Homo-oligomer: A and B are copies of this chain.
């Protein structure tokens, strides 16, 4: 049982506080108890949170770590003045030097979204998610030209989660299209894909890992057999090489790493936005 508690404190959702804190905690070989306290947008709620933090401090006999992205000065001062934890204050630390550099004052606005439905970028993101869902697993050839990127690869190579991540995180219309044994026999790209070659990105995977993933879904099937996985992967890689399609292996990579690599390769302008 960890005897140190970490709090993520925010006047918004706390997602940034959590990303910030977890990135830093990941640098330490230590186990902690994590508590997220979102939507602390009044001094009253801050006082309540402080009581919870100070209670943990007394109970555990050491100072809780408190990662905060609170921007409201009244709320923040409650933590600064009364909290027994170690305050790791993202905004307090970086806003002041930036105000100096930019020569303007910050607006202390809470959260990324004021009214999400009014934001074009937000609506584009929702539209991209719907698009990616409708174009999952080769479901629809319609509007394939509306795709920003088309992922190809054998079944269970990681196309679906990557497409959804690209849509959700970057508002990209990401379709995906399976490469199946019929394509390998014909030794040609699926005909629906041919006109969109420039948008295609391939995912491959080590046959051993593929067999393991497929076995979880359809145990002891031919589909999951190592021999069959070896054949499909080798045919798919040969096809991508022949067709000049860029590709990467997802075997040891997270969705985030795959998505970042695809962005670099397919739409570098998305890295400069």
Contacts and interface: CB of A to CB of B under 8 A. Distances in A.
Interface of A: 4, 12-16, 19-20, 22-24, 26-30, 33-39, 63, 65, 69, 71, 86, 88, 90-91, 93-95, 97-99, 101-102, 104, 106-109, 111-113, 115-118, 122, 126, 129-130, 133, 136, 160-161, 164-165, 168-169, 209, 251-257, 259-261, 264, 271-273
A165 to B, nearest CB: 7
A168 B160 contact: no
Contacts of A102: 4, 28, 30
A169 B63 CA distance: 28
Contacts of A69: 23
8 contacts: A27-B106, A29-B104, A36-B271, A39-B260, A39-B264, A86-B98, A116-B253, A117-B251
B14 A260 contact: yes
A133 B136 contact: yes
Contacts of A27: 71, 91, 95, 98, 106-109
A23 B23 CA distance: 15
A160 to B, nearest CB: 7
A34 B209 CA distance: 37
Contacts of A63: 101
Q: How many copies does the complex hold?
A: 2
Contact of A94 (B30, B88, B169): B88
A19 B93 CA distance: 16
A215 to B, nearest CB: 13
Contacts of A133: 133, 136, 160
A112 B20 CA distance: 12
B117 A209 contact: yes
Contacts of A264: 38-39
A16 B252 CA distance: 20
Given A24-B90, A27-B106, A34 B273 contact: yes
Contacts of A30: 102, 104
B28 A20 contact: no
A29 B36 CA distance: 29
Contacts of A164: 129, 164, 168
Contacts of A122: 254
B109 A272 contact: no
Nearest to A26: B112
Given A20-B90, A23-B69, A112-B26, A13 B260 contact: yes
Contacts of A65: 98, 101
Given A35-B272, A94-B88, A23 B16 contact: yes
Given A104-B29, A164-B164, A113 B254 contact: yes
